[in-house]
A and B are shown apart, each in its own frame.
Chain A
Amino acid sequence: MTTTMAQALNAALRDAMTDDESVVVFGEDVGTLGGVFRITDGLARDLGEDRCFDTPLAESGIVGFALGMAMNGFRPVVEIQFDAFAYPAFEQLVSHVSRMRNRTRGAVGVPMVIRVPYAGGIGGVEHHSDSSEAYYVHTPGLKVATPATVPDAYSLLREAIADPDPVVFLEPKKLYWSKAELDLPVETAPFGTAEIRRAGTDATIVAYGPSVPVALEAAQAATESGQDLEVVDLRTLVPFDDGTVTASVRRTGRCVVVQEAAGFSGVGAEIAARVQERCFHSLDAPVLRVTGFDIPYPPPIVERYHLPGVDRILDAVGRLQWDDDPDRRWLAGVSA
């Protein structure tokens, strides 16, 4: 049947709660309202108001309280309403949730999920469109998942809830209404496994979350000029699947990494570094990044200039030294 990503996420929560009574869902407006994106729609009504409930409006409180519950037998799945609203909870995530297992020498694990609608492209006003994944992946002890497809939304969320460690689950807002034909439940590849969404021979496009459909669109467009691009969907940023990425780049010899977040010190920078460390002798061109600019997320009226689109990806592919010419952008120097 036709299912949206939002419906798949809702089904994953519902099924996890049905299978395991220790799973509880809470956050701001997730109870009666069903969440501002309706991801928790009907859970309080159908599974009980003690299983899915509203909290006071305090994100650090939500995450810290969930940690205490996780220490005493629960598997909390908390919703942070928007990406930028997670920052008050940052200390709880970085200083406690991520470290509890380590600081207690393995005695106390924290099985919890922090769901965060993230990234832009939906015309959100200030503080509603951040791509904050770099903060989380830079924090040892957290796992970070971000689905790009409807089946992955279901399967990765089920796996996140079952995981013995804390998972930051980043949901691309603009894909909430994307659709697929499928029957739930569905089980896709596990955490730490990237998927090749389109096989190709000429260059590898590495993407995740909201950038995957854009990369696929670019690959389709590239066929018009006779180029055959491979698109890798990372699915989980931590754990990271070095094997699939490096094997792909070794086959194609060229790599472009795509992310919506600002480029400087982003996930794309890490991937580019890992690829050149591991694939140097297979590379025919430097690894290029296509990212958002190093600016605060722009107002909706101009966000189209910021977001990496098909054209910007194809431009980068065009600069992959197909004729052994150096990339003019870097020859020009930064002062240009």
Chain B
Amino acid sequence: MSALNIKKGSNKHSAYNLRPTFSDVEERHTLAVIVDNEAGVLARVIGLFSGRGYNIDSLTVAEIDHEGHTSRITIVTTGTPQVIEQIKAQLGRIVPVHSVHDLTVEGRAVERELALIKVICTGDKRVEALRLADIFRTNVVDSTLDSFTFEITGTCEKIDAFADLMRPLGLSDLARTGIAALPRGT
């Protein structure tokens, strides 16, 4: 018998680097999950992601059928193709889940997000903020003499771009809803 010489701090030799040769290219997928709107259903979905170490980039949820009590959860996640498949299979296993749709592979989808952006500024900056807001087709939903709150709808990238422009002009608060998505066509 001999002691094994395990080098100090050798924890990089993790069990998990012995995985087989699945593709390791990460993909971003938008999933729509139709669920019974019952107590704890969102906790089940979120618990699945945290418990199994999956990523959530964005999450939205609301009841979409008040009579049938079903909700639609839209999740944007990143992972290797194998992980994405595993996420879908694991979601499908949850008892109150009716169906899981991968909008990224089921054809093209419309994805939209809404954000409220508050900008505090005066003078030239205030004029410039309003001008840019107009270009981005936002709505002004609240204004004072030294602030605007803009409502902007679009893709994540559009909202990112607008927020980046507002930052030097006095962006003070930003609230985003996360992505809602539907497949294109019938």
> Is this pair of chains taken from one and the same complex?
no
